[in-house]
Structure 1
Amino acid sequence: MAVTLSAASLVPIAGAVTPAHAAARVDNPFVGAGVYVNPDWSARAAAEPGGSAVANQPTSLWLDRIAAINGTTGKMGLRAHLNEAVRQAAGKPYVFQVVIYNLPGRDCAALASNGELGPTEIDRYKTEYVDPIAAIIADPAYANLRIVTTIELDSLPNLVTNAGGTATATPACDVMKANGNYVTGVGYALNKLGAIPNVYNYIDAGHHGWLGWDSNLGPSVNLLHQAATSSGSTVANVQGFVTNTANYSALKEPYFTIDDTVNGQPIRATSKWVDWNRSVDELGYAKAFREKAVEAGFDANVGMLIDTSRNGWGGPNRPTGPGAKTSADTYVDGGRIDRRFQLGNWCNQAGAGLGERPTAAPEPGIDAYVWVKPPGESDGASQYIPNDQGKGADQMCDPAYTGNVRNNFKMSGALGGAPLAGEWFSAQFRELLANAYPPVNGGGTPTDTVAPSVPTGLAGTTTATGASLSWTASTDNVGVTGYQVFRNGVQVGTSTTTSYTDSGLTASTAYSYTVKARDAAGNVSAASAALSLTTQAGGGGNPGTGGCTATYKVSSDWGSGFNADVTVTNTGTAAVNSWKVTWTWPGSQQITNLWNGSLTQSGASVSVANAGYNGSLAAGGSTAFGFGAGYSGGNTAPTLSCTATG
């Protein structure tokens, strides 16, 4: 069950509460706990017109330089915040969120958020930054708090996409990859903070518009694993990962999927916005990242956080349905929630809005939606502003900038007149409030903390490959806006009515369904009573059988190697449970890495079976896998064979 995170219902008491014992460690620190409201941020938010509607939301404390540990002019230090968190907690389970953000050579591909430590100052990072933070957090006075850390934004993702000969590499990122201080520094922070029993470490994992491509996802997980096992750390120090931090990627894109086609062509290959990226929104990316992380050796219960502070994209420009299918671009661009010029745009984006309110356990595998980036704090300035924090000016923060290779030479989309990164940007906060989705008080919807009633009367009928569901409507004081439908405990869709049609099922198979209601304030009900349904037998007395075809396409070729994508389509009349594609190379090609499938390779003979999550295909449905390969001489395409079983 999702739980709205807020400190509004807690009554602070005078004086700090000293815990009698350390808090017991839990699987998800956000479940059953209040979350700290930063009074510095809360006061600034409440001072804005309409800002009091969200001023009680929990946000993270950013320690972006050494001086921030003890506090700077007008801002409390770490110990003062922790004392306030103990006061707010009043003896109840309570989460305190803090961002660890001061690596040497920080943010090597940007300028607005550069830091105070030079590329070689790893020793200062350890002794003057991480060690003092750990010493304060380890104070027994804070042992009852659940302290959630976000470890070093953007650093490791920069090494994946902006270093080592990539098309978007920068000299600064190449330096950081060569000296190893990003990996060393992240490992040191994990090891030092992970030794404190009530600390829950989450490593930054970029966002879907940065690492969602198959060629980036695997290497990024492997690099994070390398960091998690460096400097004496182990994967046991990693509670999970956080995505979309300080970014704008839409949580869900309801009006298109990666499997959609326009004019018979997959949008993955033909939409400039999608551009071969298999992740089209942040929730899908977070789940895919989690699966890859478990495969790479992280704990099977590892959790994900998604920063929803600025990815609502509401207001009058929010699409209400898919775009026209005249072309892939009009279809995707007309229906996408994310209204940026390009997925690489990151600085003070115009038109953005507050996203989902902080919520515990909203989806399986997702520990919480959180506001890591406090709304209203600037991403950076377009013109240099004198400062002692090492922060420069960045063209991506200039509304007139026409872009670079990292954002495909698109306009920056930034708001003008921004202050230094981390400073209050009133115009941005007001725009985020006006464009919030779900809306907030002052934006058309009353503030509400009461969950809707539970849907009742869930019933349904089946075919061999689908199920039709219906239920009795819920009621709520601000009105139910939709329903979430779960199959076998995993959300499979949403509906704005009291009915839903599920598809892609396997014949003669039992499924369990539940439904949750959602209201305009973002509250979600408990699940309905479960409904068990069994699909009908497949046609011809042979349930679940089908055939398949596989098509092969080289997406890039650089002379000694190439990337290719293979699309698998169920050509039968019933759903299939698994598939396998085989071929024999006609030349010297050899696969070096493969995604979304299981590879068996012996000499020139290749066999690729489905992964655990993409074997089931409805009649007419399709999926894809891809790989990178090397070769010498010719690169003739192979002839593929595909077999499928029910």
Structure 2
Amino acid sequence: MDESKAAIGACAVFALLMLGSAAAPVRSSAEGHTESNIFTTQPLYVSPDTSASRAVIRYPEDARDISVIADTPQARWFDSSASPESVQRYVVDAAAADAIPVVVTYGIPHRDCGSYSAGGFTDPGQYRAWIDGLGTAIGDRTAAVIVEPDALTATTCLDPADTESRLDMLRHAVSVFADLPHVAVYLDGGHSRWLSPPDLASMLAAVGVDRIRGFSLDVANFFSTAEESAYGETVSSLLGGKHYVIDTSRNGNGPAPDAPLNWCNPPGRALGDEPTAQTDDAHADAYLWVKHPGESDGTCDRGDPPSSVWWQAYAVDLVRNSGR
């Protein structure tokens, strides 16, 4: 995503929130329905069926490198093509392994403003029904849910009516998942170089972050854990102590300083911290691998593989650049 345009779009959303009935105070309650860090209770789920695990078989010459990715717990993304039954199978398999699954919802209409990860539902009613189905599929099982990466902060393609519709859809998703008894919910908040902490805190509060555990940062991006933690702590302080998780899947070398698209398959990147609940800051619940290392961010206007398609050479570089 072009971050300068994204910032403009986010400011428009912020203005709409402040002018409309959705406006909310910056400070919200200290805890949502999940009062403890679930990542300290069980290990994270390592699915045997991932793009990395399939690549280990397909490319035996790189098996040692790619196994580093395949053997590490990662989130599972569910888009508009995913049925509630597929989500149920995933959380049931994780429960059988006595592990915590991380579910990412990625079906919001006008997703990614038509860019490399375009898609999602075409109708808000379809989206709400899908979210309802996912909530039923998870039920009383333990899980972490990350709600719609970039949906709150990437809105350059939306007119005021579609913007308000999106905010309502996010409120609905927050409400559905907040009602699940053993689910920690994190509404995505972009990253440290997108919005100022007060702007992000106001936007999160306006769509119901007070009802859930907190927010997620750096999903599918490359900013350092230290930078995101400092940002997260500041945002948390404005929200009465809400918690957050950081995607560390590819931030081992930080962002590419001079790449034209430093968020889109930049060269020279590395795997970041392994998923863990042992974090350096009071409100950071976990470092997670949300983006799947080795899957492309998109064609990047230079002929890279399409978004979410496995890219063997890039995956190998991520591992080797991390020294693992």
TM over 0.5: yes
In the alignment, is the contact (CA less than 8 A) between 1:209 and 1:343 conserved in 2?
no
What is residue 79 of structure 2 aligned with on the other side? 64
1:178 positional shift: 5.1
In the alignment, is the contact (CA less than 8 A) between 1:305 and 1:366 conserved in 2?
yes
TM-score normalized with structure 2 length: 0.81
Structure 2 residue matching 1:372: 3-state secondary structure: coil
1:156 aligns with 2:156: no
Once residues 349 and 342 of structure 1 are traced to their aligned partners in structure 2, the CA distance between those partners, rounded to angstroms, is 7
Once residues 217 and 185 of structure 1 are traced to their aligned partners in structure 2, the CA distance between those partners, rounded to angstroms, is 23
Structure 1 residues 190 and 284: CA distance shift in structure 2, 3 A:
same
Once residues 314 and 276 of structure 2 are traced to their aligned partners in structure 1, the CA distance between those partners, rounded to angstroms, is 23
Once residues 248 and 177 of structure 1 are traced to their aligned partners in structure 2, the CA distance between those partners, rounded to angstroms, is 32
1:177 positional shift: 6.0
In the alignment, is the contact (CA less than 8 A) between 1:134 and 1:192 conserved in 2?
yes
What are structure 1's unaligned runs of at least 5 residues?
1-23, 72-76, 160-169, 229-233, 253-280, 295-299, 314-336, 382-396, 400-415, 441-646
Segment drifting more, 49-58 vs 371-380: 49-58
Structure 2 residue matching 1:99: 3-state secondary structure: strand
1:39 positional shift: 1.9
Q: Which of residues 401, 409, 417 in structure 1 aligns to 2:304?
A: 417
Return the letter of the residue paired with 1:378.
Answer: S
Structure 2 residue matching 1:54: 3-state secondary structure: helix
Structure 1 residues 344 and 427: CA distance shift in structure 2, 3 A:
closer
1:40 positional shift: 1.8
Structure with higher helix content: 2
Structure 2 residue matching 1:193: 3-state secondary structure: helix
What is residue 316 of structure 2 aligned with on the other side? 430
Q: Which of residues 76, 92, 96 in structure 2 aligns to 1:87?
A: 96
1:423 positional shift: 2.1
Identity across the alignment (%): 29
1:31 positional shift: 0.8
Structure 2 residue matching 1:352: 3-state secondary structure: coil
What is the 5 A alignment of 1:247-396? Answer: 247-252=221-226, 281-294=227-240, 300=241, 302-313=242-253, 337-341=254-258, 345-363=262-280, 364-381=282-299
What is residue 5 of structure 1 aligned with on the other side? none
1:345 positional shift: 2.7
1:398 aligns with 2:284: no
1:344 positional shift: 6.6
Structure 1 residue matching 2:185: 3-state secondary structure: strand
Structure 1 residues 246 and 350: CA distance shift in structure 2, 3 A:
same
What is residue 98 of structure 1 aligned with on the other side? 103
Structure 1 residues 240 and 116: CA distance shift in structure 2, 3 A:
closer
Once residues 311 and 234 of structure 2 are traced to their aligned partners in structure 1, the CA distance between those partners, rounded to angstroms, is 34
What is residue 407 of structure 1 aligned with on the other side? none
Larger Rg: 1
Once residues 245 and 256 of structure 2 are traced to their aligned partners in structure 1, the CA distance between those partners, rounded to angstroms, is 23
Structure 2 residue matching 1:351: 3-state secondary structure: coil
In the alignment, is the contact (CA less than 8 A) between 1:156 and 1:220 conserved in 2?
no
In the alignment, is the contact (CA less than 8 A) between 1:249 and 1:343 conserved in 2?
no
What are structure 2's unaligned runs of at least 5 residues?
1-32
Please, what is the CA RMSD of the aligned residues? 2.2
Once residues 46 and 340 of structure 1 are traced to their aligned partners in structure 2, the CA distance between those partners, rounded to angstroms, is 31
Q: Which of residues 227, 230, 235 in structure 1 aligns to 2:210?
A: 235
1:338 positional shift: 3.2
Give the aligned length: 285
What is residue 187 of structure 2 aligned with on the other side? 203
Return the letter of the residue paired with 2:75.
Answer: S
1:133 aligns with 2:138: no
What is residue 182 of structure 1 aligned with on the other side? 166
What is residue 15 of structure 2 aligned with on the other side? none
Return the letter of the residue paired with 1:112.
Answer: Y
Once residues 36 and 55 of structure 2 are traced to their aligned partners in structure 1, the CA distance between those partners, rounded to angstroms, is 32
Structure with higher strand content: 1
Q: Which of residues 206, 224, 234 in structure 1 aligns to 2:204?
A: 224
In the alignment, is the contact (CA less than 8 A) between 2:192 and 2:228 conserved in 1?
yes
Once residues 114 and 96 of structure 1 are traced to their aligned partners in structure 2, the CA distance between those partners, rounded to angstroms, is 25
